[in-house]
Amino acid sequence: MSNFLSAKLKSDFFSVAEILNLNGFAVDKSLSVVYQTSFLKQLLCDNKKDSFLLDDPTLEIFKDFFESGKSFSSDSICIKINSSPMIFNGTLLSLDRDGDEVIFCVLHDNMGITMEKKMRKLKACCIFSGGAVHDFNNALTAVMGNISLAKLDGSGNRDLLELLKEAEKGSLRIREITEKISLFSRAEKIEKETCSVKEIIVVLLSLFNMKYGYEIKVDIHEDYNISGDREMLIEALSEIIENAFEATSKENRDIALSVVKIDINKENPFCSTIAEGDYVQISIVDNGIGFDKNDANKLCEPFYTTKENRDGFGLAFAYAVLKRHRGYIVSQQGKSGGSVFNVFIPLF
52-76 pLDDT, tens per residue?
A: 788 888 888 888 888 876 656 666 6
Domain boundary among 150, 185, 220: 185
What's residue 272's pLDDT? Answer: 55
323 in the same domain as 284: yes
Domain boundary among 59, 89, 112: 112
Rounded-to-integer distance, Cα 163 and Cα 191, Å = 36
203 in the same domain as 178: no
User: Where on the phi/psi map is residue 309: left (φ > 0), alpha (ψ -120 to 50), or beta?
Assistant: left
Domain count, the chain: 3
Does 231 fall in a domain?
yes
Q: b vs e for 295-319, b when ≥16 Cβ sit within 10 Å of the residue's Cβ?
A: ebeebbebeebeeeeebbbbbbbbb
What's residue 82's pLDDT? Answer: 61
What's residue 271's pLDDT? Answer: 53
Domain boundary among 54, 79, 112: 112
35 in the same domain as 175: no
Domain that includes residue 12, residue range: 7-112
Q: What is the pTM of this model?
A: 0.51
Does 1 fall in a domain?
no
Residues of the chain with pLDDT under 50: 1-11, 110-119, 122, 187
The enclosing domain of 17 has a CATH number of: 3.30.450.20
233 in the same domain as 199: yes
As a dihedral over the C-alpha atoms of residue 227, residue 232, residue 238, residue 240, rounded to 10 degrees, the angle is -80
176 in the same domain as 71: no
What's residue 237's pLDDT? Answer: 93
Rounded-to-integer distance, Cα 99 and Cα 87, Å = 30
What's residue 118's pLDDT? Answer: 47
Rounded-to-integer distance, Cα 53 and Cα 80, Å = 5
Contacts of 328 (CB under 8 A, 6+ apart): 270, 273, 274, 322, 343, 344
Does 48 fall in a domain?
yes
The enclosing domain of 283 has a CATH number of: 3.30.565.10
What's residue 5's pLDDT? Answer: 41
What's residue 115's pLDDT? Answer: 44
pLDDT digits (tens, 9 = 90+) for 120-149: 554 555 556 666 766 777 788 888 888 888
